[in-house]
Structures are given as structure tokens and as C-alpha cells.
Chains A and B, each alone.
Chain A
Amino acid sequence: MKQRQRGVILALLPFVLMVLAFQVVPLLSMLTGSFRREDGTGFTLGNYLHAVQSAYYMQAIKNSLLISVASSVIGIVAGLLCAYCITRFTPAVRDRLLMLSNMTSNFAGVPLAFAYIILLGNNGVFTLLFKQWGWSVFSDFNLYSWSGLILVYVYFQIPLALLLLYPAFYGIREQWKEAAALLGAGSWQFWRTVGLPVLSPAIFGTLGILFANAMGAYATAYALVGGNYNLLAVRIGSLVAGDVVTQPQMGSTLAVLLALSTLLAVYLNQRMVRLTEGFTSKPPRKRAWRREASAGIRAAALEEAGQ
């Protein structure tokens, strides 16, 4: 029996070592680093104080929060509309639409930012075209600013929202609508009093995921605006691995703040998913792998993780 136990423990050892070395130790190191002085010694709350008092860092935090909230809200509204629309199609069309939207979620990060630069950048195809045609509406648009970032963020938020939300619509039975209609409720009244309340845990949970997704998004923003737009994730990157002087302690502090916000958002999602499970039924799990494979990789895995 002793021997048996030893063999079993031995099989777990590499896993424990890898997780300790590349997950636990770095996180702890970041946490302790955020309480160190600039020279890396002692214990201080100064970094946090500095972060809160510095207009520059506060602006980065504010920008990140704003862009995350805005892109998540737009994403969730569009996602809800689309998820509802998708249930109105026949299964064959629905599957194809889902596949297409999931497919595009592979197109993220650097390639995505790049595609937008081709389309709407300073010398983008559409930018030049609109100039040629004299459409002045678009002459104010600047891809490398707030509106451009929102446009690009929303691009990766919508497919994620769609993928996470549309299963929840299957919890809403056709019979409920019929019952509501028999009792004299209009379509709008049904959604307001029955549909949306039933969906609300799924909506808030998804909102959490979208928020965390946007807060942590680095590649897209970095490739699009570099250091020119003050975002928390980009700021952290340049503090730790920048070309100029690196300030690892300050970077750690901001990273802790960022991690706290995303942890909170993901925690919210987990709680909400548990709530949702109470009264919605998911579509048959048979094709779970297929859905995952068809590319909303991250989303599908998140969905798995939430369960």
C-alpha cells in the first residue's frame, strides 16, 4: 500500500513542480514586488499610494476601465440581439452563422490590429477611398484613438458574447411565450417581465468575462497604438519590459491592480453561471467538442471552466 501511494504521488510531482515554478512563484513574486521600494528592498505601501496619486497611472486605469466597460456593454447588447436572431433561423443556417462568427474569433491580436490598419489607418484603403469620394463624415475618425480602439475591441467581444449567450436562449421555452401570450402579454412585455430576468444571470456572467477579456487585452492595443494611448495593460508592459528605464516594482503594483479587477470579474461569472444552471437547459452537450473546435476556442473553454 505504501509503495502504491508513492507511485501515485510521483506521477503528480512534475505537475506540482511546473505549476509552482511557472504559476505560483511568479504570482507571489509579483505580489511581493508590489510592496517593495524602488530599489527592491524593504516593505512599503508607497507603490500603491504612488499609483493612486499619479495622474498618469490613474488615467491609464480610467482609460482601461472605460474602454472595457464600453466595449463589454456594446458587445453584450450586440451579442444579445444576435443570439436572439440566431435562434430564429433553421438549425442548419444557425450552425453556419455560428461557425462563421467563431471562425473570426481566431482573427485577434496582432493580425486583427493589422487588418484595421489596412482598412482604416492613416493610409488605409477606406480612409483614402473616403477622402477621394469626399465623404467628410469619416475625416474625423482616427483609428489610433479611443473610437478606433473601441471599434477593434468590439470586434473580438461580439463573437465571444454570442458564443456565451446563445445557449442561455435555449432555456426560454416556447411554451412560456405561448402562456404569456394567452394571458395577454405582448412580445415586448414577455421579454421585459420573463425573458430578460431569466437571462439576466447569463448576461451578467458574460459581462464579467467580456470585461476581464478587455482589461487584459494587450496584443491588439499594443499593435494598434503602441505606447501612444494610455492603457493599463500597455503601461504595465512598458514598465516591466520597456525600452527605456524599467520599473519592475511599479509594474508589479499595476499588475496586481489589473489582476484584482479581472479576478473579480471572472469570480462574478462563476457565481452567475451557477445561478443560471438552476433554470436553463443547455443545448445537447454532444457537440461540445465541435463547437470548441470551430474556433471560439477561448470562449468554449471559458464556458467549460465556468461549469
Chain B
Amino acid sequence: MNTRRSGLAPRTFMLLLMVYLLLPLLATGLYAFAENWQNTLLPEAWTFGWFGEMFKDIRFLEALWTSLYLCLITVVLSLAVMLPSVFVITVYFPRWESFMKGIVVLPYAVPGVVAAVGLIRAYSSGPLNISGTAYLLVGAYFVVILPYMYQGIRNSLLSVSAVELLNAAELLGARRRSAFVNVILPNIWPGVIVSALLSFSVLFGEFVLTNMLVGGHIQTIQVYLYRRVGESGHLASTIAISYFVFILLLSALLMRLGTLGKR
């Protein structure tokens, strides 16, 4: 197996793929630093000015803040709801697991635009008129990250053999709740943090639901970016590239945590 060498064809194909995949990124990156870029292969002059302008723009900072806190609230809410329920299902009702899994996988099969139609119809009139509010968005976000949260928490529970741990704790006289809080939670925490961060980065890139449900009222970073595209190319590419770097840092952190947690 080790004797095989990568021939010319595989190298060429991979090179082509990398060029195709990295070119748009590279161009956006260059554009964000370019003072003047016309008619030449590379920009004629460079500047940090667009970044300065980005941070001076109060609407950008507001959108960033809105994104951060909406994602954070959703992830915390999801943790509060999912931790006990996944625990209960895994430990007490393993027979319901396939049912739960079915519910949890559904958001994959239902595209955002379809989910938005249902949400708008269900909540734009009648007793619960919360259309255009953050409540509706947080609820929709909750469903989006269901699969990641469920899978992450369940995997951590299984990898620490939660049932045996719990039995041991109860045998030693711990109450069920305190066994959960003091024994199970600390053990699954690394895995749970990873899925929380994963969910966070998924939500940070969400556009469809946000734009359709609250686009007119609440601006997240994605909606803001969409609005700015028409105005200034340089500024928009600055925002796009900052967003990308932020997500990259987040996944680097995730990777580190993921490998730490597995040790």
C-alpha cells in the first residue's frame, strides 16, 4: 500500500479542483485589500481602508451583534432542551430512539425555503402572531440545529457509557438528578461543547430562514451582507472574507476541541 505513488493524472485533477475551489476565495480576499483593480491580473494598489470602513460602519457592528446573540440564545436554549431529553431517551426509552432520530433528521430533508413557508403560514395570524419577531426566528433556528445537537449529545453519551455510569452513581446512593448533573454532565461536556460550536457556526451562516422570516425587521450578518452587495463591492468582499475567517477560526477551535475530547 505504501509503495503506490501519485501519478500525473491524480495530481492534475486535484490541482484543477483546488484552483476551482480556491479561486473565488482568493479573488474575494484580494478584492478586500485592493485599492484599484481593473484591467490587470493583480490589483495595482493595496489598502486596509475597506477594513477600516467596515468597522466604522455602525450597521455592520449592529448586524454582527444581532447575529452573535441570536445564535448564542438559540444554542443555549437548544442545550437546555436537548440535554435532558436526549439523556432520557438514550437511558430510559432506547426503543423510542429510531422515532426520535426520524424527527431529528427531518430538517435535512426539508429545505429552509419550505420550512419558512410553513412557519410564516402558521404564525402570521391567529392566536400566536409572532411573525417577524426574534421568537419565531429562534424557534426556526432551534429546528435547524436539531440534528447536530442530537447527534453530538447522543454520541457523547454513548462514548462515556452513560447507563453504566448512572447505575454506578445510583448504587453509591446518588439521586438521579444529582447523578445527571454531577456525573454525566461533566463527562459529556467536551463533546457537547463541540456540537454547540458546530451548531453556532451553522446558524451564523444561515440566510434563507432569516431573510424570509424576519428580513425586514432584524438584520443578521448574512442579511446585511446581501444588502451591501449592490452598494460597494470592496466593502462587501471585506465583510465576506472576515466572515469566512471567523468561521475558519471557529472550525479550527472545533478541531482542536474534537481531538482533545477524543483522547
Supposing A12-B88, A248-B120 touch, asked if A23 and B194 sit within 8 A by C-beta, the answer is no
Q: Given known contacts A12-B84, A114-B240, what 12 new A-B pairs fall within 8 Å (CB)?
A: A8-B88, A26-B123, A82-B13, A89-B10, A223-B207, A236-B113, A241-B120, A262-B114, A266-B108, A293-B194, A305-B147, A305-B151
A72 interface contact, C-beta 8 A = no
A261-296, CB under 8 A of B: which get 1 and which 0? 011001100000000000000000011011011110
Which among B108, B143, B211, B236 is the interface contact of A114 at CB below 8 angstroms? B236
A283 to chain B, nearest CB (A): 13
B171 interface contact, C-beta 8 A = no
Bound Cα distance from A108 to B247, whole angstroms: 12
Supposing A110-B225, A218-B111 touch, asked if A104 and B22 sit within 8 A by C-beta, the answer is yes
Within residues 94 to 119 of chain A, which ones have a CB less than 8 A from any CB in chain B? Answer: 97, 100-101, 103-104, 106-112, 114-119
B115 interface contact, C-beta 8 A = yes
Structural contact, B244 and A125, CB atoms closer than 8 A: no
- Interface SS of A by simple majority: helix
Bound Cα distance from A240 to B215, whole angstroms: 13
Pull 7 A–B residue pairs with CB atoms less than 8 Å apart, ordered by A: A18-B143, A21-B139, A27-B118, A100-B22, A110-B226, A287-B259, A295-B251
Structural contact, A251 and B117, CB atoms closer than 8 A: yes
B1 interface contact, C-beta 8 A = yes
Binds B, one of A50-58, A134-142, A194-202, A252-260: A252-260
Structural contact, B142 and A236, CB atoms closer than 8 A: no
Bound Cα distance from A263 to B114, whole angstroms: 12
Closest to A264 in B: B109
Chain B contributes a number of interface residues (CB within 8 A of A) equal to 98
Q: Please, which residues of chain B bring their CB within 8 A of the CB of A25?
A: 118, 122
Which among A15, A104, A115, A233 is the interface contact of B113 at CB below 8 angstroms? A233
Q: Please, which residues of chain A bring their CB within 8 A of the CB of B115?
A: 23, 26-27
Q: Please, which residues of chain A bring their CB within 8 A of the CB of B123?
A: 26
Supposing A85-B14, A89-B10, A258-B114 touch, asked if A114 and B229 sit within 8 A by C-beta, the answer is yes
Of listed B116, B215, B225, residue having the most chain A CB within 10 A? B116
A48 to chain B, nearest CB (A): 15
A150 to chain B, nearest CB (A): 13
Supposing A11-B85, A101-B17, A158-B21 touch, asked if A259 and B110 sit within 8 A by C-beta, the answer is yes
Closest to A266 in B: B109
Bound Cα distance from A14 to B13, whole angstroms: 50
Q: Please, which residues of chain A bring their CB within 8 A of the CB of B84?
A: 11-12, 14
Structural contact, B244 and A107, CB atoms closer than 8 A: yes
A148 interface contact, C-beta 8 A = no
Q: Please, which residues of chain A bring their CB within 8 A of the CB of B261?
A: 289
A163 to chain B, nearest CB (A): 13
B238-260, CB under 8 A of A: which get 1 and which 0? 00100110011001001101110
Which among B87, B108, B177 is the interface contact of A305 at CB below 8 angstroms? B108
Within residues 52 to 110 of chain A, which ones have a CB less than 8 A from any CB in chain B? Answer: 78, 81-82, 84-86, 88-90, 93, 97, 100-101, 103-104, 106-110
Structural contact, A27 and B208, CB atoms closer than 8 A: no
Which among A97, A252, A286, A304 is the interface contact of B18 at CB below 8 angstroms? A97
Q: Please, which residues of chain B bring their CB within 8 A of the CB of A86?
A: 10, 14
Bound Cα distance from A89 to B17, whole angstroms: 15
Structural contact, B225 and A114, CB atoms closer than 8 A: yes
Which among B7, B85, B118, B151 is the interface contact of A29 at CB below 8 angstroms? B118
A155 interface contact, C-beta 8 A = yes
Structural contact, B262 and A286, CB atoms closer than 8 A: yes
Q: Please, which residues of chain A bring their CB within 8 A of the CB of B66?
A: none
B41 interface contact, C-beta 8 A = yes
B15-38, CB under 8 A of A: which get 1 and which 0? 001101111110110010000011
A22 interface contact, C-beta 8 A = yes
Structural contact, B37 and A125, CB atoms closer than 8 A: yes
Structural contact, A89 and B6, CB atoms closer than 8 A: yes
Q: Please, which residues of chain A bring their CB within 8 A of the CB of B24?
A: 107, 112, 115-116, 119, 155
